[in-house]
Amino acid sequence: MFELTGRVALVTGASRGIGRAIAGRLAEQGAIVVAAARGDHAHGTAADLTSKGWRAEAVSLDVTDQAAVERLPGAIIERHGRLDIVVSNAGITRDQLLMRMKRDDWDAVLATNLTATFSLAQAAMRPMLRQRGGRIIAVSSVVGQMGNAGQTNYAASKAGLIGFAKALAREVASRGITVNVVAPGMIETDMTRAITEKAQVDWAAQIPLGRLGVPDDVASAVCFLASDEASYITGHVLAVNGGMYM
């Protein structure tokens, strides 16, 4: 679909769900994919991709470990000589009404979903500036655009990503680096499987396209934004939500 042969891509949260699908789609298009998750969680993803003849490797990364995040781009350059695409996808929820939300739940969600993207983008910036090119793609959410009761922490983190990406896009555009956001709606993954079947049916009823999304729907959008075909697109928020928010 989009030619990415020889590009080196880092995908966080690549052990399952959306991140795993993104890693797969980028590898299928020829990219060398560094699939990151905690512990050995991304090993299955890398093994699956290499078994198909694509190029991938797993790394252990907790995105809230700032020192580890800062080291990773340098390590990728050492191994592969370049870093072209960074997809900041790792994310968590800790849902609770604000009245009952613990400060820890706020801090954990902001650290994983927003601050980690700051650290990762900053660490990737130096090699990308040297290369005079790169793609940074953050995975936000429809919840960052429209809000959702019980998710003030998550909505703040995901809306924060949009502001962050637009500001950074302006800083680095003259160096050939684009910064974009994908904002998925309700996608079938572990994250949404945690909600009841009835709630899923209720959500689907609010989606004009009449179904929940699948991880590949998001992966296709990311793959496009990573490609040469998207070279004139920056600071954009690409909704992948079946029309649930327009």
- Catalytic residue positions? 154
Beta carbon of residue 235, minimum distance to ligand NDP (angstroms, whole number): 19
Least distance (Å) between residue 120 CB and ligand NDP: 10
Q: Cα–Cα distance between 75 and 53 in angstroms, integer?
A: 23
CB-based burial, 122-145: b 16+ in 10 Å, e otherwise? ebbbebbeebeebbbbbbbbbbbb
CB of 232 to ligand NDP, least distance (A): 25
Please check whether residue 203 is in contact with residue 212, taking contact to mean a CB–CB distance below 8 angstroms.
yes
DSSP-derived secondary structure letter, 229? G
Q: How far is the CB of 241 from ligand NDP (least distance, A)?
A: 8
Least CB distance from residue 99 to ligand NDP, whole Å? 23
| Closest by Cα among 18, 3, 171 to 87 | 18
Which one of residues 69, 84, 112, 145 is an interface residue with ligand NDP (CB under 6 A)? 112
Query: Considering beta carbons, is residue 14 or 223 the nearer one to ligand NDP?
Result: 14
Mark residues 8-47: x for contact with ligand NDP by CB under 6 A, - for none: ----xxxxxxxx-----------------xx--x------
Instruction: Give the integer Cα–Cα distance in Å for 145 and 142.
Output: 5
Concatenating the DSSP letter of every residue in 147-192 gives --TT-HHHHHHHHHHHHHHHHHHHHHGGGTEEEEEEEE-SB-SHHH
Spatial distance between the Cα atoms of 178 and 198, rounded to a whole number of angstroms: 40
Give 129 or 208: the residue with its C-beta nearer to ligand NDP. 208
- Give me the DSSP letters along 185-216: -SB-SHHHHTS-HHHHHHHHHT-TTSS-B-HH
Nearer to ligand NDP, 14 or 128 (CB): 14
Toward ligand NDP, which CB reaches closer, 173 or 195?
A: 195
Interaction with ligand NDP in 117-146: which residues (CB under 6 A)? 139, 141
Under rule CB under 6 A, residue 89 binds ligand NDP? yes
Among residue numbers 144 through 203, which ones bind ligand NDP (CB under 6 A)?
184, 186-187, 189-192
Which DSSP category does 15 fall into? S
Residue in 157, 182, 161, 178 with CA at minimum distance from that of residue 169:
178
Q: Which is nearer to ligand NDP, 29 or 141 (CB)?
A: 141
Please report, as residue ranges, which positions from 56 to 75 form the binding site for ligand NDP (by CB under 6 A). 61-64
Enumerate binding residues for ligand NDP (CB under 6 A): 12-19, 37-38, 41, 61-64, 89-92, 112, 139, 141, 184, 186-187, 189-192
